[in-house]
Amino acid sequence: MGELTGQLIDAVGIMVLGMGLVYLFLSVLILGVHVVAKWCATEAVNSKIAVNPPRGASESTANASTLDPKVVAAITLAVQQFRSHAK
């Protein structure tokens, strides 16, 4: 009975060690993700990247998005040719 008890104690020790290492790794990983997120946020502020576009930008984009009919015809023809070759 003494040998079995010793093996069970060793197994529990290995299990606790493994679970502790996994917990430590995940904690370091989460900490690293938070550090990188804060670093990227400060980089975005320093380089003046607009995270949210201004409200008037969508209106000016809608006015400037008129397509040339020749471009639309070329795209339509290319899609039709692709579909005919795909069959």
pLDDT for res 6: 94
* Cβ(8)–Cβ(15) below 8 Å: no
For the whole prediction, is pTM greater than 0.75? no
pLDDT digits (tens, 9 = 90+) for 27-74: 999 999 999 999 888 777 776 655 555 666 555 555 556 888 999 999
Task: Take residue 44 and report the two structure tokens written for it.
Answer: 């975005």
CA–CA dist 32, 37 (Å, integer): 9
- Rounded to whole angstroms, the Cα distance separating 58 from 5 reads 72
pLDDT given for residue 42 in this prediction: 79
Q: Is the pLDDT of residue 19 over 90?
A: yes
